[in-house]
Amino acid sequence: MEIAKFSIPEIIFGRGAIKYAALCTKRLGGERPMVVSDPGLRQAGWVSCLFEVLEKEGLQWCYYEDVVSNPRDTQVTKGASFYLENKADVIIALGGGSPMDAAKGIAIVASNGGRIHDYEGANRINRPLPPMVFLPSTAGSGADISQFAIITDTSRHLKMTIVSRTLVPNISIIDPLLLTTKPHNLVLAAAIDALSHAIEAHVSIIASPFTELQSAKAIEIISSYLPRAYQDPSLEVLEALSIASTAAGMAFSNAGLGADHALAHSIGGMFDTLHGEVHSILLPAVMRFNLDWALPKMAHIGRILTRKTWKSDRKMALLGIESLENLFLSLGTKQRLREIMPDPSYLPLICRMAAGDICLLTNPRPATWEDLLSICEEIW
């Protein structure tokens, strides 16, 4: 084993954990937190719930919600100015992957200056960020756990991947009650995103025993709860998915991702698709592409997904991919790229961009843009 690094935030988990937001802010030295959220969370009542918690402890918050799904460079720039104008000292993100990634981008630009584009890639942040307290409202993105931030470059129409240990929030407050106001389709999409994190991290070339333990557990929980996430996301189901998504976040943050996410970023940057909807199309195809380059681990995934044991690793790995395809089919998720893209003529550009995504570096099988194109043509 090479040197393995494992870094996660402090985690506070449980129903009603939102009540700890003010104490955590104060513990990090904050008096004037900037809250980043979105209109959906505000309408669901969670933003005012958070304000009450902060006010009870005498904290002077300011509020920013100019954040869309697949958050944009322009929103980060405005948010960073807002942070500085309000003399904020802690960033609290409340929401799904989008408000959390926007908050990370704001933290970078507010403390390190320049444009968010300057930090694309790995380890390009030099100065310390403001303390961050994140409250995820979906069980999927793992942004509250991870070293990753994904921001859309609106001029190039692509998603920039920014990776740095300093992007791990200080404290992640995971309250499954926040998930109860999300529509079922978003719960499902987030869970599939988390499953993709877990599977890609599990076979990553820099996976370690610390990440493999987490990714295997996440695959086990999500695959068994996915049908209920779709039909009847009770609080028990949401809690299990939150635990699994957190485990998947610990895994991928430290092991990286793969070709599925490289393509998903590139597709999402161009067509503004819901990130969680792309994986049911891409993931099985990427797993087939990687099959022989990570056979024992793919077989292990197959055993978890099917709860069966065959002698042959190859047989087991293939059964796993099939069972995943059947699961996605039963959930009615998207199956072909043509469902989210107008025309196959975009594919070469998408694959060229994906070939430059940092996620591809940890994919078990090296992939050129032509390899990615073959994958995409197969699932057109």
**Which residues form the interface with a copy of itself (CB under 8 A)?**
1-8, 10-17, 20, 165, 208-210, 213-214, 217, 239, 243, 246-247
Residue 284 exposure: Cα atoms within 13 Å on the Cβ side: 22
What is the smallest separation between the CB atom of 98 and a copy of itself, expressed in angstroms? Answer: 25
Question: CA 263 to CA 351: how far, in whole Å?
Answer: 7
Q: Nearer to a copy of itself by C-beta: 18 or 226? A: 18
Question: CA 210 to CA 43: how far, in whole Å?
Answer: 39
Would you list the DSSP string of 206-249? T--HHHHHHHHHHHHHHHHHHHHHHH---HHHHHHHHHHHHHHH
Q: Nearer to a copy of itself by C-beta: 109 or 250? A: 250
What is the smallest separation between the CB atom of 223 and a copy of itself, expressed in angstroms? Answer: 16
Q: Nearer to a copy of itself by C-beta: 14 or 227? A: 14
What is the smallest separation between the CB atom of 208 and a copy of itself, expressed in angstroms? Answer: 7
What is the smallest separation between the CB atom of 201 and a copy of itself, expressed in angstroms? Answer: 15
**Which region holds residue 257: left if phi is over 0, alpha if psi is between -120 and 50, else beta?**
beta
Question: CA 29 to CA 7: how far, in whole Å?
Answer: 22
Q: Nearer to a copy of itself by C-beta: 15 or 334? A: 15
3-state secondary structure of 343: coil
What is the smallest separation between the CB atom of 346 and a copy of itself, expressed in angstroms? Answer: 41
What is the smallest separation between the CB atom of 34 and a copy of itself, expressed in angstroms? Answer: 23
Q: Nearer to a copy of itself by C-beta: 106 or 226? A: 226
Q: Nearer to a copy of itself by C-beta: 7 or 374? A: 7
Look up residue 102 and give its two tokens.
Answer: 């926007």
**CA proximity to 211, closest of 164, 166, 171, 247:** 247
Question: CA 264 to CA 150: how far, in whole Å?
Answer: 11
